[in-house]
């Protein structure tokens, strides 16, 4: 899909339509991603579910509402999460312990997240937009001063339909 958007941008740019500042796509293809791969066999043998691990990471990064503070008529939610510098530190994030009860002997145990998972850094799309369940991307541009945006749109639609 991104290749098609790039082709469309090249096509429109080749027509040298006056009034278009710079064409862009509304999807960023270089958004960083940190993939967490759980060793399911090791986690399962300890009695840890992938849900527990995911919930712990999510709570650390995005937080969890733990209480509400009332002052007069105003309510303030209290959210617990790691500090900003800790949320961005992979070592701190993955060396925190998962606390659980061992199903075999009933004892409380703690295991660092890094003992049952590995991380892989990659890039991905920042978002996927859909219209009627189909993926869409929008090509957009600023219109230069003195140009008519409606006229530019009509010219582009006419040229694209001719394809």
pLDDT value for 74 = 92
Q: How far apart are the first and last CA of the chain?
A: 17
Q: How far apart are CA 25 and CA 136, in angstroms?
A: 11
pLDDT in tens, the chain (163 residues): 777 778 888 888 787 777 888 888 887 777 788 899 999 999 888 888 899 999 999 999 999 999 999 999 999 999 999 999 998 899 999 999 998 888 778 889 899 999 999 999 888 777 778 888 888 888 888 888 888 888 888 877 777 777 6
| Cα dihedral 51, 55, 56, 61 sign | positive
Could you tell me the CA-to-CA distances from 8 to 34, 151, 152 in Å, in that order?
31, 18, 15
pLDDT for the residue 66: 92
* Tokens read off for 68: 């509400």
């Amino acid at each position: 899909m991104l290749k098609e958007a790039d082709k469309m941008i090249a096509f429109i740019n080749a027509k040298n339509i006056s009034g278009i500042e710079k064409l862009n796509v509304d999807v960023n293809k270089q958004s960083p991603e940190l993939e967490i791969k759980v060793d399911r066999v090791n986690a399962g043998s300890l009695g840890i579910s992938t849900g527990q691990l995911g919930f712990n990471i999510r709570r650390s990064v995005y937080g969890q509402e733990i209480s509400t503070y009332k002052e007069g008529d105003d309510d303030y939610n209290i959210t617990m999460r790691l500090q900003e510098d800790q949320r961005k530190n992979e070592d701190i994030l993955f060396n925190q312990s998962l606390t659980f009860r061992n199903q075999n002997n009933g004892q409380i145990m703690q295991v660092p997240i890094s003992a049952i998972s590995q991380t892989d850094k990659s890039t991905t799309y920042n978002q996927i937009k859909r219209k009627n369940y189909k993926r869409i991307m929008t090509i957009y541009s600023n219109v230069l001063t003195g140009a008519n945006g409606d006229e530019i749109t009509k010219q582009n639609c006419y040229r694209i339909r001719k394809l």
